[in-house]
Amino acid sequence: MTTALTLVCDGSSTLDRQSVVAAIPGESIVGSTLEQVLPPAIERCEERSVDKVAIVTAETVNRASVEARLEAAGVTAVGWVDARLGAGLSAPKRGRVVAAAIQARLSLAAAGNHPAALEATAKPNIDRGEVVVVDAPGVAADLATHVPVTLLTSEPGQRRRRNVTVREGRPLEVFDDGDLTLLVECPGGADRLRADHLVWPGYDGDVDSDRLYVDSSGVVDALVRVACEHGRDPVTVDQVTCAVGQKGTPGCRACEAVCPYDAVSIDSTGAGSVTIDPHACTDCGVCLGACPTESISSPRAASLDVLADATGAALEVTTTAEDGFSLPFVGRDEPETPPVLAFTTHDLEPVVVTAHSETVPTIPIPVTDARRVPAALVLYALAAGAGGVLLVGDPERSTDALEQTSEETARTLEALGLEPAVSWVASTEPAAVRGALERVHVDERLTDRPLSRLSTETDSRPRTPATDGGVTVTAASLSVHAINALASEPRVDVPTPALGSVVVEAADCTLCWACDGMCPTGALEQPDEQTLRFDPSACVGCERCVACPEDAIEVTQTVSVPLGTQEPVVEHEPVTCVSCGDAFGSATGLAQVRDALSDADLTEGLGLESCPDCRRQGISSGGTNR
């Protein structure tokens, strides 16, 4: 049985520690400092087999050392929460916001998707040396997905960077006497940095070395090719569940369309395939958010299962409170503002904490990249009780995916008659993030129909079969779950992310089983010779089925809600074999075959009224079935 323990150790007077303890389930230890509460916490972990520990503190501590001590006591997951979170809110509200963040962190940590766990998977530096990057934080971030990096900058800022050690200083000169050495002017005086590989865009000195990179455009490719020999596991694609086109059909191309590094290539010939170039890929996770079938896996990014559980865990705390902050607001004359979820990169979380708004309770959910969050997850968060969602992105990265997610979500909400309670910002400035938070339109109607939490322990959500025999939450299943909860009445033509609809012209359909074989999600299913069924909750709009040989299928990117179960879209009169009496096709299909052959006068002697087995038997015996 999983047991959790929370350490609340903020010595300042700004956080009401008891309000945090009152809002979280399980045991807690309260103290002024982490040093004070850690020894009794370790003792309790050993005595009671504690699996997960949450630590609420604003102290600057060696997290790796603390986690190592807890791991030795049998703890498998540690989640950290900044004690400054929610400053300015009333004590009860702030306690629940911090408690919500605790629940989200523990969900992420238990799945191995917290910053410390991700850093622990980093491989050794290239050739056991150092990669030093001068004033190019974007390049440093890309390289850091493969190897640890030291970034030298005169403007360190507030952000953290995973696998990046930030040094404040100004480069003066570089020497190459077997080792690359960078002379640096630091706030405390001069210093030297040894580098096996030095990235200094714009360097115009005399040193000529194949380990000194002065053109940032080629740095990532050149260094990553070396780093891949020692680096992380690559991003992979499950070709079985992937909805890529086959035999020249259009199919899904979402990952290729959104990749900001042109690392994805699609081949729709033959069985179809998606290839990800490990050298160009920076593991940003954008393709994971775009994939409607959750067929792309990253060694560092959380799955939708994990993100949905973290989101639900956070909102569950605020929806079960009893003293003025509970959701939903049914029967309330003056409802209070529901929380806004801020999906933010791990390194920008301190900016979000600093940018707290005194009027908008904000719960940060740390992810590897906010661009990884799909519109389907945003919809789920809103349906689960969030008043709004803010995507906080990296200003040094393309914001196209953030803008697209916001627009997709807004279109769906507007079609459902709801305010577009989603926005995005890309900044390291707390004031800009605070302004974006306050611009998120919190729609209280969203909380009138709260969605039950997606729990990995229950079967209360739509799922898609996985290739290993298990199940997985997909963007499509999240969309279905969310819009069914958000829709107040049946509507048609609702644009919804990761979903689509199929219209079949029954008069043209010959029930040839082609679409049944092409559909990667089972949305189109032909159970027998005379019936074709369509499950709107399983359709991802990939357009594989438009390769129908009779041109009888049309795919749209809208759905009718609420989405129900499978329904027949084609029902034809069956044809029975004149020899054995078994059904082997449809009357419509047989009529079309006759029409196609009549002009060539080929219908005689073919035994069209016999099933294939009887027809073969007739041919082998030298006879003709009529």
Separation between Cα atoms, residue 284 and residue 402, nearest integer Å: 13
How far separated are the first and last CA of the chain, in Å rounded? 69
269-326 per-position pLDDT tens digit: 888 899 998 877 878 788 888 888 889 988 777 788 888 888 988 887 765 444 443 3
pLDDT of residue 601: 59
pLDDT of residue 343: 95
pLDDT of residue 21: 80
Count CB neighbours of 207 within 10 A: 15
DSSP 8-state secondary structure symbol assigned to residue 364: E
Q: What is the mean pLDDT of residues 467-479?
A: 66
Separation between Cα atoms, residue 444 and residue 582, nearest integer Å: 59
Pair 524, 403 in one domain: no
Pair 390, 482 in one domain: yes
Instruction: Output b/e per residue, 579-595; b: 16+ Cβ within 10 A.
Output: beeeebbbebbbebeee
CA-nearest of 28, 48, 42, 52 to 72 is 42
Pair 362, 477 in one domain: yes
pLDDT of residue 224: 58
Separation between Cα atoms, residue 97 and residue 572, nearest integer Å: 57
The answer as to whether 626 is a domain residue is no
Q: Is the peptide bond before 328 cis (omega within 30 degrees of 0)?
A: yes
Pair 346, 365 in one domain: yes
CA-nearest of 517, 475, 518, 463 to 500 is 475
Pair 174, 259 in one domain: no
156-184 per-position pLDDT tens digit: 766 666 678 888 888 988 888 777 888 88
Identify the sign of the CA torsion 120, 121, 125, 128.
positive
Pair 597, 611 in one domain: yes
Separation between Cα atoms, residue 146 and residue 279, nearest integer Å: 10
Pair 514, 479 in one domain: no
Q: Do residues 144 and 162 make contact, with C-beta atoms less than 8 angstroms apart? A: yes
The answer as to whether 550 is a domain residue is yes
Pair 263, 329 in one domain: no
Separation between Cα atoms, residue 268 and residue 252, nearest integer Å: 10
Q: What is the 3-state secondary structure (H, E, C) of 397-450?
A: CCCHHHHHHHHHHHHHHHHCCCCCCEEEEECCCHHHHHHHHHHCCCCHHHHHCC
346-403 per-position pLDDT tens digit: 888 889 998 876 777 889 998 888 998 999 999 999 888 888 999 999 887 888 889 9
Share above pLDDT 70 across residues of the chain, in percent, rounded to a whole number: 79
CA-nearest of 104, 75, 533 to 306 is 104
pLDDT of residue 94: 83
Tokens of 560: 């009718």
Angle at 486 between CA 520 and CA 433, to 5 degrees: 95
pLDDT at 226 over 60: no
Count CB neighbours of 117 within 10 A: 18
Enclosing domain of residue 480: 300-490
Pair 166, 314 in one domain: no
Q: The domain that contains 261 carries what CATH number?
A: 3.30.70.20
pLDDT of residue 572: 78
The answer as to whether 310 is a domain residue is yes
Tokens of 559: 């759905």
**Whole-number average pLDDT of the chain:** 78
Among 227, 251, 279, where does a domain finish?
227
Separation between Cα atoms, residue 601 and residue 43, nearest integer Å: 90
Identify the sign of the CA torsion 24, 29, 30, 31.
negative
What is the bridge-based pairing of β-strands 170-176 and 180-186? antiparallel
Higher-confidence residue of 541 and 442: namely 541
What is the bridge-based pairing of β-strands 464-465 and 264-267? unpaired
* 541, amino acid identity: G
Pair 393, 269 in one domain: no
pLDDT of residue 40: 92
> Concatenated DSSP letters for 24-38?
SSSEEEE-SSHHHHH
Share above pLDDT 90 across residues of the chain, in percent, rounded to a whole number: 12
Name the one residue in this structure whose structure tokens are 């953030």: 402
Q: What is the 3-state secondary structure (H, E, C) of 183-207?
A: EEEECCEEEEEEECEEECCCCCCCC
Q: Do residues 611 and 529 make contact, with C-beta atoms less than 8 angstroms apart? A: no
Higher-confidence residue of 425 and 270: namely 425
Tokens of 570: 């084609």
pLDDT of residue 265: 93
The answer as to whether 110 is a domain residue is no
* H/E run at residue 286: helix 286-290
pLDDT at 22 over 90: no
Separation between Cα atoms, residue 200 and residue 207, nearest integer Å: 12
* Phi, psi dihedral angles at 128 (to 5 degrees): 60, 20
Pair 337, 476 in one domain: yes
Q: The domain that contains 173 carries what CATH number?
A: 3.50.50.60
Among 297, 314, 341, where does a domain finish?
297
The answer as to whether 75 is a domain residue is no
C-alpha distances out from residue 164 to 149, 225, 340, Å: 5, 19, 29
Which of the residue ranges 74-83, 114-123, 234-243, 581-590 would you say has the lowest mean pLDDT? 114-123
pLDDT at 431 over 50: yes
The answer as to whether 24 is a domain residue is no
The answer as to whether 51 is a domain residue is no
C-alpha distances out from residue 323 to 20, 226, 308, 507, 580, Å: 14, 57, 26, 61, 74
Among 439, 457, 490, where does a domain finish?
490
Separation between Cα atoms, residue 112 and residue 120, nearest integer Å: 10
How many domains are contained in the chain?
A: 5
The answer as to whether 285 is a domain residue is yes
Q: Name the range with the highest mean pLDDT among 223-232, 298-307, 428-437, 605-614.
A: 428-437
Tokens of 621: 């015996």
Pair 183, 219 in one domain: yes
CA-nearest of 347, 394, 436, 356 to 158 is 347
Angle at 560 between CA 557 and CA 564, to 5 degrees: 115
Angle, helix 304-319 to helix 475-486, in steps of 10 degrees: 30
Q: What is the mean pLDDT of residues 319-342?
A: 52
